[in-house]
Chains A and B, each alone.
Chain A
Amino acid sequence: MNTLLAKKKEPIDKLAKSSASGRSLGAEALRRMLRSPVAITGGVITLLFLLLAIFAPLLAPKDPQTRYLQSQVELGRGIIPGAQPGFPLGVDDFGRDFLSRLIVGAQQTLIVGVLATLIGVLLGVLIGGLAGAFGGWVDTVLMRLVDVLLSFPSLLLAISIAALFAKPSQWTVILAVSIIGVPIFARLLRGSMLAQREADHVLAATSLGVKRTTIVFRHMLPNSLGPVIVQATLTLATAILEAAALSFLGLGDPDPTRAEWGLMLGNASRQFLDIRPELAYYPAIAIIVVALGFTLLGESLREALDPKNRR
């Protein structure tokens, strides 16, 4: 009788164990993401973009700076030569190979996006971490400031920073875009810290007499990493888009040798859209695809890490 009963209960026990198993959050999230077509699409796009950016100098068929067809460009008369053998996507207003510039542009775009996001994360984590770790008046003052920053429309915020510098450069763009992320990351980290301050493992560590700094760095920060990564992935997408908007408004890097998608799109849209619209379309499509990839990845990460979705 007992064996019979054991056999009947086996599948139920298994089910119960799988839900209560100590599998880590990361592994669980990864497993769920591998089943989601959205996550896979986002992941593949992101991966391809990263590979393209890293190996860009090797992949570019021509030198992106050589002005091959400069003699044929007559901007004044509205002439930019189109696609032709050797130049599958045509050339830009300096007669440089557009395909090569687009490929190299992936690298510059990644640099702008990653640096802007990273600075935003660092500043935001610093502010939010201080507020969350100390609480009290530190928290009140810092969060008031963050709320005000949040109350600026994001593009206006970026414009205000970029316009501060008389001479725009790649760094002014990065700095301007990074400022958008600061209040977001600050709030995110503070919320996560506050939630954890009351959590059992932190209370336990405190009661054992562990130093506050140790608790913050060893227990609280690592646990806040998940949401920060999710938000950073989403911010990468907006950073690239905002950088493009700044370039379009004339606040981009004026260095003509710089090949960055936002800059290429901004310049093409402003200057020669009626002559060669495809010079705007190519970088635009690249930006859309990459922004979409980061968004898909970020959204599915968020969903995967959401404890509500855990079964």
Chain B
Amino acid sequence: MLRFLVRRVLQAIPTLLILSILVFAWLRSLPGGPAAALLGDKATPAKIASLNHVLGLDQPIILQYFKFLGRAVTGDFGNSLVSAQPVMSEIGTFLPATIELSVSALIIAVALGVPFGYLAARFRGGIPDNVIIILTLIGVAVPVFFLGYMMQDLLAAPLGLPSQGRQAPGIDATSITNFAILDGIMTSEWDAVWDAIKHLILPAFALATIPLAVITRITRASVLEVFNEDFLRTANSKGLTQPVIRRRHVLRNALLPVVTTIGLQTGALLGGAVLTERVFNFRGLGFLLAEGIERRDYPRLQALLLFGALVYVLVNMLVDISYGIIDPRVRVR
């Protein structure tokens, strides 16, 4: 098990290195060079030259890369042009909101997707199956941000749910970790916890649609596969009760591909979070990114790009490892 872990972690290193080269090259490939892009309309040849010197852009490119890598490893991505603060501290401030949102969406997607997928497989070809399949197909065809607006428009008022921001104006919550729910629990400010949950519901459901659709379909397909397995016949020949068979024999096996899917869906979640946060004015990394795009804040964008890819790589590493824990066959190999 330990060897498996170490090998999996080592496997991620070359990926991360190439990633850093790409992100480094990305900033260098700005039309007119990074200095011109940073200065924008105010660019004059003299200003560009002096900024190039300040940023070390007049040094050999290899040296620049290693300096960039060295700083990146210590979490130094320079200062944001918009806020003039270190980008890393910006990310630190806004990350908890995005984690809160993405994790809630993932929980919703798994909690609904697995039962729906099982149901569809169980009644294969029947009405529930067809309805669920059609819904999943529509689910991936709806633009996430549009869905968010629809929910604001149609659901917020009838359900009495807030559709903007993370906190109601009247709530005076203490901020410790910037995780609204966690902070509320730590300080026993229960009204703040409830308020934070209410603010999460709509954006989390909007963000959950695509992963939900995908997880439903994967679950259905893999449950159908397990239904045909010999060991299920054995389980039935033992006279086990339906719930035991469902939990221990069907789902335990059918969920293996679902775990992999969850890892792959992190990408969709991060992308979707950018859009959802904007729609719901939910101030997280997506908000930071959208603002960065509008203001062409390249240091911030660079850091966010690298960070996004990094999270994705790490999550998939975790998924691989947890796969090894669930499936005894992987561990041995």
A and B touch in the complex (CB under 8 A): yes
* B290 and A249 contact, CB distance less than 8 A: yes
* B153 and A145 contact, CB distance less than 8 A: no
Q: Write the nearest CB–CB distance from A281 to chain B, whole angstroms.
A: 8
| Cβ–Cβ < 8 Å partners of A154 in chain B | 267-268, 271
* B293 and A251 contact, CB distance less than 8 A: yes
| Cβ–Cβ < 8 Å partners of B301 in chain A | 160, 163
Q: Judge if A237 is at the interface, Cβ distance under 8 Å.
A: yes
In chain B, what residue has the closest Cβ to A167?
B31
Q: Write the nearest CB–CB distance from A200 to chain B, whole angstroms.
A: 29
Q: Write the nearest CB–CB distance from B307 to chain A, whole angstroms.
A: 10
* Residues A292 and B309 in contact in the complex (CB < 8 Å), given A160-B26, A245-B275, A249-B290: no
Bound complex: CA A237 to CA B140 (Å): 9
| Cβ–Cβ < 8 Å partners of A289 in chain B | 141
A165 interface neighbour in B31, B145, B309, Cβ under 8 Å: B31
Complex interface bits, A163-179 against B, C-beta within 8 A gives 1, otherwise 0: 11110000000000000
* A250 and B30 contact, CB distance less than 8 A: no
Complex interface bits, B137-148 against A, C-beta within 8 A gives 1, otherwise 0: 110111111100
| Cβ–Cβ < 8 Å partners of B49 in chain A | none
* Residues A295 and B137 in contact in the complex (CB < 8 Å), given A152-B308, A164-B29, A245-B145: yes
For residues 255 through 311 of chain A, which have their beta carbon under 8 Å from a beta carbon of chain B?
Answer: 265, 269, 273, 277, 280, 284, 287-289, 291-292, 295-296, 299
Complex interface bits, B176-211 against A, C-beta within 8 A gives 1, otherwise 0: 000000000000000000000000000000000000
Chain B, interface residues (CB within 8 Å), range: 35 or more
Q: In the complex, how many residues of chain A place their beta carbon closer than 8 angstroms to a beta carbon of chain B?
A: 39
Q: Judge if A39 is at the interface, Cβ distance under 8 Å.
A: no
* A249 and B142 contact, CB distance less than 8 A: no
Bound complex: CA A284 to CA B140 (Å): 13
Q: Which of B11-19, B117-125, B240-248, B319-327 contacts A (4 or more CB under 8 A)?
A: B11-19
* A148 and B138 contact, CB distance less than 8 A: no
* B289 and A159 contact, CB distance less than 8 A: yes
* B153 and A292 contact, CB distance less than 8 A: no
* A151 and B309 contact, CB distance less than 8 A: yes
* A295 and B140 contact, CB distance less than 8 A: yes
Q: Judge if A222 is at the interface, Cβ distance under 8 Å.
A: no
For residues 123 through 157 of chain B, which have their beta carbon under 8 Å from a beta carbon of chain A?
Answer: 137-138, 140-146, 149, 153
* Residues A249 and B278 in contact in the complex (CB < 8 Å), given A148-B15, A237-B141: yes
Complex interface bits, B273-301 against A, C-beta within 8 A gives 1, otherwise 0: 01100110000000001100110100001
* B275 and A248 contact, CB distance less than 8 A: yes
* B30 and A151 contact, CB distance less than 8 A: no
For residues 21 through 41 of chain B, which have their beta carbon under 8 Å from a beta carbon of chain A?
Answer: 22, 26, 29-32, 37, 40
Q: Judge if B316 is at the interface, Cβ distance under 8 Å.
A: yes
* A155 and B293 contact, CB distance less than 8 A: no
* A156 and B275 contact, CB distance less than 8 A: no
Q: Judge if A52 is at the interface, Cβ distance under 8 Å.
A: no
| Cβ–Cβ < 8 Å partners of A288 in chain B | 138, 141-143
| Cβ–Cβ < 8 Å partners of A74 in chain B | none
* Residues A249 and B275 in contact in the complex (CB < 8 Å), given A164-B26, A288-B141: yes
Q: A144-B14, A265-B143, A291-B141 are in contact. List 12 more A-B contacts (CB 8 A).
A: A148-B309, A155-B270, A160-B305, A166-B32, A244-B143, A244-B145, A245-B271, A250-B293, A273-B149, A277-B149, A284-B142, A287-B141
Binding site for B on A (CB under 8 A): 144-145, 147-149, 151-156, 159-160, 163-166, 237, 241, 244-245, 248-251, 265, 269, 273, 277, 280, 284, 287-289, 291-292, 295-296, 299
8 interchain pairs, CB-CB under 8 A:
A154-B271, A166-B31, A244-B146, A250-B293, A250-B294, A284-B146, A292-B137, A295-B140
